[in-house]
C-alpha cells in the first residue's frame, strides 16, 4: 500500500460526511504527522516494549477474497490434523480439525440468535478427522468421521478468520488524526439539535470522537437534563462513588478530590484508580461568574507518538513500569485498581497497539513494587513525558461556555484546567468505554461485526 493510499485512508472519515473538520491545511499536516508517528512507530517499536506475548498480525494487505472467482482456483487438501485451503490469489490457509469442529456454525452447535457456542468443545475427539470433504461454490462442507455431524463453512468466513497465516484486513474505518494547539482554529463541532434528531449526525459526532478524541456540541440548552439527554444518545451514564449519573458541582469539595476545588489541574486522565477508567467524559459549564478556569485538552496519543520520537527509551519505560494509583479522599471510599498497578501507556498484548493513556500524577500512590534500578529511569521518563504534554504546541486551551458541551475520550485525551475565582457550576457525566465502543460498532463506524465474533 503506497503512502498515497494510506493518506486517503486517513482522510476517509471526512469523505463520509463529517460536517465540521479542521481546516484542510492543518488536516494535511496532521495526517502526515499521524502517518509518520503512529503506523511506522508501531512497527518499529521494540517488541520487548509490549511484553513477551506480542504477536504481529500480517502487515501485507492482500485484496479481499473474491467469492465468484473461487471454484476455478481454490482447492482443499486434508492433512494429518488440518485442512488446507489454497486460495485463488496464491495464499494458503491451514485450519486444525479441532478448531473447525469447535467453530461449527450450525444451529445445533451455535445459537443463531445469541451468537453463543453450544457445541460441547470437550467432547471433540483429539484425533477428529473428516470422513468427507466437499468444496462447493462458496462453502466447504465437512462430514466428521466420529459422529457423521456435518459442518458447513462459508469460504468468506474462513478467509476472514484465517489464523495460519492471518490474512484478514481489519478494514477499520477509524483513523485517528493527531492534533496540537492549532486545532483551536477549527475544533470538531456538531449541533445539539442535529445529534438529538438524526442518526447520521450522531455518527458524525462519534466519528469526531474516534478521529480526534474529542468534540464540541453547540446549541445545548443550559440545563443538566438536556446535558444528560445528549450523553444518552451514546449510552447510559456510568454511576461512580461521585454520582449516580450526572454530576453537577461547584468548587465546594463535596468529594475528596482536587477536581472539587478551585485549584489548577494539570493535564491528566480521570479514573486512573479504576480497573476500568471511564471511556468518555462530557462537561457542560452551566454558570460562571469569575475569572480563569479555562479548559485544557492534550491529545495523549499524539503526545505518546511525540515521546517515542524524542525518546524511545522513555516511551518504553512508561509502557513497562506499572504505577500504583488510588482514590481515597472520601471517608467511605478507598478505590485501587486490580491489578494493583498499570503502566501509563497501555498496549494491547496481541496487536501491540497503544489503547489507553492512564496518567494522573496526583493520584499516583507511593511508588513501591519496582526494582531499585528502575526508580531513576522512571522519574527521567516522567520528566520527558511532562515536557511533551506541557509543550505549548500540544496544548489546546479553550474557555467553556454555557450552551457548548465538550466530550472527550478519557483513554486518549488528557484534560486539565486553569485555577479560577468566583462562582463556577459545571455538570458532566462519565460513560463506560465498553458501551461507548458498542455504540460505535453498532452504528457501523468500526470494524465489521462478523470479523469480530
Q: How far is the CB of 285 from a copy of itself (least distance, A)?
A: 23
The residue among 299 and 320 lying less far from a copy of itself, judged by its C-beta, is: 320
> What DSSP designation does 67 have?
G
Q: How far is the CB of 244 from a copy of itself (least distance, A)?
A: 8
CA distance 182 to 303: 15
The residue among 30 and 210 lying less far from a copy of itself, judged by its C-beta, is: 210
Residue 165 in contact with residue 93, Cβ under 8 Å?
yes
CA distance 453 to 449: 6
The residue among 32 and 92 lying less far from a copy of itself, judged by its C-beta, is: 92
DSSP E strand boundaries for 293-366: 295-299, 323-324, 341-342, 345-347, 354-357
Residue with cell 472527550: 408
Q: How far is the CB of 211 from a copy of itself (least distance, A)?
A: 18
Q: How far is the CB of 88 from a copy of itself (least distance, A)?
A: 21
Torsion of CA 66, 71, 73, 77, to 10 degrees: 110
Q: How far is the CB of 227 from a copy of itself (least distance, A)?
A: 18
The residue among 23 and 48 lying less far from a copy of itself, judged by its C-beta, is: 48
The residue among 147 and 434 lying less far from a copy of itself, judged by its C-beta, is: 434
CA distance 148 to 160: 26
The residue among 12 and 383 lying less far from a copy of itself, judged by its C-beta, is: 383
Q: How far is the CB of 163 from a copy of itself (least distance, A)?
A: 4
Alpha carbon of residue 175 to chain centroid? 11
Nearest one of 104, 79, 74, 80 to 92, comparing CA atoms: 74
**Omega before 165 within 30 of 0, i.e. cis:** yes
Residue 444 backbone zone (phi > 0: left; psi -120 to 50: alpha; other: beta): left
Q: CA separation (Å) from 198 to 191, 192, 208, 229, 357? A: 11, 10, 15, 14, 32
The residue among 258 and 294 lying less far from a copy of itself, judged by its C-beta, is: 258
Backbone phi, psi, residue 214, to 5°: -160, 165
The residue among 62 and 329 lying less far from a copy of itself, judged by its C-beta, is: 329
CA distance 397 to 394: 10
> What DSSP designation does 368 have?
-
3-state secondary structure of 295: strand
Amino acid at each position: 500500500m503506497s503512502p498515497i493510499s494510506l493518506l486517503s485512508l486517513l482522510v476517509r472519515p471526512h469523505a463520509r460526511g463529517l460536517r465540521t473538520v479542521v481546516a484542510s491545511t492543518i488536516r494535511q499536516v496532521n495526517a502526515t504527522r499521524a502517518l509518520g508517528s503512529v503506523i511506522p512507530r508501531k512497527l518499529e517499536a521494540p517488541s520487548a516494549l509490549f511484553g513477551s506475548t506480542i504477536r504481529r498480525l500480517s502487515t501485507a494487505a492482500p485484496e479481499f477474497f473474491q467469492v465468484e472467482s473461487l471454484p476455478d482456483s481454490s482447492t482443499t487438501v486434508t492433512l494429518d490434523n488440518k485442512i488446507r485451503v489454497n486460495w485463488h490469489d496464491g495464499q494458503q490457509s491451514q485450519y486444525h480439525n479441532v478448531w473447525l469442529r469447535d467453530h461449527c456454525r450450525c444451529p445445533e452447535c451455535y445459537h443463531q440468535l445469541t451468537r453463543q457456542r453450544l457445541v460441547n468443545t470437550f467432547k471433540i475427539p483429539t484425533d477428529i478427522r473428516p470422513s468427507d470433504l466437499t468444496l462447493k461454490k462458496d462453502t466447504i462442507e465437512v462430514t466428521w468421521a466420529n459422529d457423521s455431524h456435518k459442518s458447513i463453512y462459508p469460504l468468506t468466513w474462513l478467509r476472514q478468520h484465517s489464523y495460519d497465516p492471518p490474512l484478514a484486513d481489519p478494514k477499520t474505518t477509524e483513523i485517528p488524526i493527531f492534533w496540537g494547539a492549532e486545532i483551536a482554529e477549527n475544533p470538531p463541532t456538531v449541533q445539539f439539535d442535529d445529534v438529538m434528531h438524526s442518526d447520521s449526525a450522531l455518527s458524525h459526532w462519534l466519528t469526531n470522537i474516534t478521529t480526534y478524541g474529542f468534540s464540541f456540541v453547540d446549541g445545548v440548552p443550559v440545563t443538566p437534563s438536556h446535558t444528560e439527554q445528549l450523553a444518552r444518545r451514546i449510552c447510559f451514564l456510568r454511576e461512580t462513588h461521585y454520582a449516580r449519573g450526572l454530576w453537577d458541582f461547584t468548587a465546594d469539595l463535596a468529594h475528596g478530590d482536587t477536581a472539587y476545588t478551585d485549584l489548577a489541574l494539570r493535564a491528566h486522565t480521570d479514573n486512573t484508580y479504576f480497573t476500568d477508567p471511564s471511556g468518555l467524559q462530557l462537561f457542560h459549564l452551566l454558570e460562571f461568574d469569575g475569572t480563569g478556569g479555562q479548559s485544557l485538552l492534550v491529545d495523549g496519543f499524539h503526545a505518546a507518538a511525540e515521546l517515542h520520537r524524542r525518546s524511545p527509551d522513555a516511551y518504553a519505560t512508561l509502557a513497562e513500569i506499572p504505577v500504583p494509583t488510588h482514590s481515597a479522599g472520601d471517608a467511605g471510599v478507598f478505590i485501587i485498581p486490580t491489578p494493583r498497578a498499570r503502566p501509563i501507556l497501555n498496549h494491547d498484548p496481541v496487536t501491540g497497539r497503544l489503547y489507553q493513556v492512564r496518567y494522573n500524577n496526583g493520584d499516583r500512590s507511593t511508588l513501591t513494587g519496582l526494582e531499585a534500578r528502575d526508580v531513576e529511569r522512571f522519574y527521567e521518563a516522567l520528566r520527558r513525558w511532562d515536557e511533551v504534554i506541557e509543550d505549548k504546541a500540544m496544548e489546546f486551551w479553550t474557555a467553556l461556555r454555557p450552551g457548548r458541551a465538550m466530550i472527550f475520550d478519557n483513554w486518549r485525551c488528557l484534560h486539565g484546567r486553569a485555577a479560577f475565582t468566583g462562582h463556577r457550576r459545571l455538570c458532566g457525566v462519565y460513560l463506560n468505554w465498553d458501551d461507548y465502543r458498542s455504540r460505535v460498532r453498532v452504528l457501523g463506524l468500526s470494524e465489521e461485526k462478523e470479523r469480530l465474533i
